[in-house]
Chain A
Amino acid sequence: MSSKAAQPEQLWLSGNEALALGAHEAGVKVASGYPGTPSTEILENLSGYQGVYTEWAPNEKVGLEVAIGAAFAGARALATMKHVGLNVAADPLFTASYTGVRGGLVIIVADDPSMHSSQNEQDSRNYAYAAKLPMLEPSDPAEAKEFLKLAYELSERFDTPVLLKSCTRVAHVKGVVKPGKLAKSKVKVGLEKMPAKLVMLPGNARARRIAVAERQAQLADFAESFAENRIEWGDRKIGFIAAGTSYLYVKEAFPKATVLKLGLINPLPAGLLKELAAGVKKVIVVEELDPFLETQIKAMGIKCQGKELLPAIGEFNSAIVRQAVTGKPGPTGFAPVPVVPRPPNMCAGCPHRGVFYNLSRLKVFVSGDIGCYTLGFLPPLSAMDACVCMGASISMAHGMAKALGDAGKGKIVAVIGDSTFIHSGITGLINSVYNKDYSTVIILDNRITGMTGHQPNPASGSTLMGEPANEINFEELCRAIGVKHVRTVNPQDMKATYEVLKEEIERDEPSVVITRYPCVLIPEEKKRTKHPLHTVIENCTGCQACLRIGCPAIHWHPLEPAQAKKLGYKEKQKGYAQIDEITCVGCGLCLPLCKFKAITKGEGK
């Protein structure tokens, strides 16, 4: 990952590793972002290079603003995020389009068609159109690196932020990448006062609005001759138009066809598109999700087909493209057989588990949020009732409380992780206090951004670059906001947690319960000596109480009457539960659930 003395001729990198290398080769000085699959590893990898400052921001808006500031100061700057992160960062994005840049500014946004790890599958290309910004779309890791370097050239040449669109099948695909030369920006780092360009008040903004229109026209001209927009002439029956991974699926399915490959997908090269249309019998636009290209191409008066053939939902592959275009079913594999689903689960020992078990017992409406703890919605815990976007738990709970009035008292709880609380929950809490709510907020404080792979956050005490940092004090923060009842519990202590939750939920004023215990997957926890619990099989009555916490270390073994009898159980006992001592970390959540002394403390491992 680090820049080694002798560069090998070729590397085999993921898209995200390639983007980090691209940022390094482009001479990026400042990079900020917020984790989000599939974008996270860009900054994680970039932090291993010399000469670049990298950080995790508390959210994407802050990350982009940091990058804007660095670009204003003349440095090449990068912001990274997942598609929904761009919603959070949209405010600075739209106006940075007006100011333009000094040092190059690139925003990498990673989409997730098919929602492998996301709550929606919005198409980020619409942002490029709406914010009037150029957007590049690479198809694989090798292009990802080259396009990022090109993006910095375009940014400085046309005085504009540039969007680079990645997606799951670029970010998490590995491919051959050739390292290249280090680029150098002509812009000098330093502060320069230029208020007409950088202070966006109506008077200045009106002038910049015209500059934006002129820039769009220049970029549209540039798009005609840009080397990454090219027609690959072949068979003339169909001319495909595609960008990114869709281009690869077209090449795979129709190796001999004519393809207009677009590297720059906003603005579009009208001339090149017309040239393609004139040279082929029919034009087919292949693009995942929205008819972004198709709508614009049709508006240019070019006849083409797109979404009437191809799906607008989910990601493509070469078989989907081939079948849609030929209308013939392609080769298929064996018919699927029903297989027990294997959804992800909270880890054995996860500190979130006990909280959700208690919430399911308290029979409250749980306004949820996004993180590992969203898995608390799954059976058998089934203790999350709503989840929309990061930070929404607290504000939605407030809305529910205002809708229900007194009838909602004691019934509404918001749950939010530490990273999510810092991301966008704090403002919601301020609102709840200010506007006199009564709901209870539980901050699930495992001191790390768990879901996306354990990135440090302001509660962790360290930075992305591995330096010690201030650890935010949630108790003091909540009190300063005006929450009078702030209590902290160890969520592994089931009984104490239950009692604190019950008291606070019944309270008529806003309260915060901080459940603090480290994530089991952080290195310090992994190294800790574990004392897995032990099952005394003879004592198990098959009551299944221990199964209600949904721990992956507790397994149910069904029994036929004869088997049960042979094991010394009553014939009608349906089975027994057993702890898998390899998986168990000895958190002890299940201990108080067993009333028959079938679970005991074990030896250290």
Chain B
Amino acid sequence: MNRALKKIIFTTVTLSVLCYIFLNDLLQGDWSVLSASWDNLETFWNESLWPPEWSMLEARKYPECGSSIGFFCSKAYIGMLETLKMAFVATIIGFTIAIFLSPFAAKNLTSAWVYIPMRIILAATRSLPSIIWAIIFVVIVGLGPLAGVLAMTFYTVGYLGKLQYEEMEGVQNSPLEAARAMGLSHPEIVANVVIPESSNNLLSQLLFMFEYNVRHGSILGLVGAGGIGFYLQFYLNFLMYKHVMAFIVVILVVVIIIDLMSMYIRSFVTEDGDVKRPSWSTIFLSPNQAKKYHHGKSEEE
């Protein structure tokens, strides 16, 4: 047997054993909980979850619907739209703040006197989960979307800031050296060398963060910070799980759409994008299949 294979088998076995030990510990040795829970899930799913209460996607009874399409007056649409707006604002503002802070947290761009305090600041905003931030801002600015936006912004700064400075540290050294030898200033180097060099990953982080904020925006409603979460929390309180399920399906669909969009947008900066941008028809194919498809097509052109 070759050594690489041995290593893989050893790692797999070790991790499996550790997982088993820890889980056994957590369950206090009582594995019967698991078999009972399967039955519970089945009953719960059949009786309380499925089918979802699709009326959540129809127009509300009050106020009167002004649109000819009822969906645009539904709770699902109104709540989702508010969450999307919140996530959009928070992601853009958070990204902008983070991109100004992260160059001061990157080891290759500043000295330890600067990057260590900056990292502590970023870690501090990140150490509170967004829901705790939401509670704090609900207390400060009151119930509603503003609290949600502020909570998301804070979290976004900490999270994106970390991803960004790690990305910047990965930038090749030689463009930095050429620019430094020329005598360009620190902001000039960041704006003209570091950010363009890492643009691809910065963009995908931005899009990921937007998707993350949409998902988390749904949770923030639980503490009264606006968005679709308001309805989730409302129906959860009354144990109306079929209604909740309808909202969850809407969230899932939106997240998938954002994911597809981010793939498309990123293709503008990746090197693969040089070959051919993925089209809607090939986005579900594997890269190789898509390439074949595109090649066939571009030859026709």
A binds B: no
- Which residues of chain A have a CB within 8 Å of any CB of chain B? none
Residues of B within 8 A of A (CB): none
